[in-house]
Amino acid sequence: MRKLEVRELGRLPYGEAWALQKELAEQRKQGLIPDQLLLVEHPHVLTMGRNAHEQNLLVGRSRLAELGIEYFEIDRGGDVTYHGPGQVVGYPILDLREWKRDVVAYLRALEEVILATLRRFGIEGHRDAGATGVWTPEGKICAMGVHISRWVTTHGFALNWTTDLSYFQHIVPCGLMRPVASMESLGVRVEREAVHRAIVEEFARVFEYEPAHAAAGA
């Protein structure tokens, strides 16, 4: 059975987490480490994907600085997104050659992980054909965007746990003018650890791993 190392990194600035992802992806490509799942929370940050449209950013850069929101242009698929406190951000660094060489199947599997996680807390999410991510009747609850290099994945998903949803007003999330939701806004109050545990277990189930928990930040 393939092995998954989970790293719970706590709160980490976006830039540091990105650098760590790149380093781990490089090691993964060389076969030095097994597949990784990073779970992290970022301070306020907006990231623009490769296909991002500047018009989906609704405030100027200088205003972002005033608001204490960082800004990054990055190499994942998808449009602009927001990360911040109260969000569970997951970065799987997987070698898809050992799973399925199929990027679409990978996205659908990530969605399945989140759908199953939410179900554990009584939230019925759904997919929306043509709009990758996980949706609820109240709005989008989990955004996704992925980068792949030699079949090794980086970036991943951002699940709104207790996110202050007002921050999404600065952007058109993923270029889609649709509402956002969080577990909390749907009336579900749970500990962050419980969400992490559910994600890790469902991740291991969907991607067929035997997870080996690594020390936080290792």
Partner 1 sequence: MADVVMPQMGESIVEGTLTKWLKKVGDQVERDEPLFEISTDKVDTEIPSPAAGTLSEILVQEGTVVAINTVVARIGDGAAAPAPAPAPVVETPAPAPAPAAAPAPAPAPVVEAAAAAAVEESAGPVSPLVRRMARENNVDLAQVSGTGAGGRITKQDIENYLAAKQAPPAAPVAAPAPVAAAAPAAAAAAPLPRVEPAKVRVEAMSIMRQKIAEHMVHSKHTSAHVTTVHRVDMTRVSKARAKAKEDFQQRYGFGLTFLPFITRATAEALRAFPIFNSSIEGTNVLYHNEVNIGIAVALDNGLIVPVIHQADEKNIVGLQRSIVDLAARARSKQLKPNEVQGGTFSITNFGSFGSLFATPVINQPQVAILGVGAIEKQPVVIDDAIAIRSMAHLALTFDHRLIDGALADQFCLKVKSILESWSDEIL
* Residues of this chain, 44-73, that bind partner 1 according to CB under 8 A: 44-45, 49-51, 53, 55-56, 58-59, 61, 64-65, 67-73
Q: Tokens 């202050």 correspond to what residue? A: 164
Q: Minimum distance from CB of 3 to partner 1 (Å)?
A: 19
Interacting residue with partner 1 among 10, 128, 169, 194 (CB under 8 A): 169
> By CB neighbour count within 10 A (0-12 exposed, 13-18 middle, 19+ buried), where does 201 fall?
middle
Specify the residue, 16 or 212, whose C-beta has the smaller distance to partner 1. Answer: 16
Q: Which structure tokens are listed for 22? A: 């790149």
Half-sphere exposure of 21 (CA within 13 A, CB side): 29
Can you tell me which of 30, 191, 193, 210 binds partner 1, judged by CB under 8 A? Answer: 30
Residues 6+ apart with CB under 8 A from 30: none
| Binder among 1, 104, 187, 191 for partner 1 (CB under 8 A) | 104
Phi and psi (nearest 5°) for 189? -110, 110
CB of 163 to partner 1, least distance (A): 12
Cα 117–Cα 122–Cα 94 angle in degrees, nearest 5? 5
Amino acid, res. 158: A
Per-residue DSSP letter, 157: E
In terms of CB distance, is 121 or 151 closer to partner 1? 151
Q: Give the residue numbers marked as catalytic.
A: 174
Residues in contact with partner 1 by the rule CB under 8 A: 11, 13, 29-31, 43-45, 49-51, 53, 55-56, 58-59, 61, 64-65, 67-73, 75-78, 84-85, 97, 101-107, 132-133, 144-151, 164, 166-167, 169-170, 172, 175-177
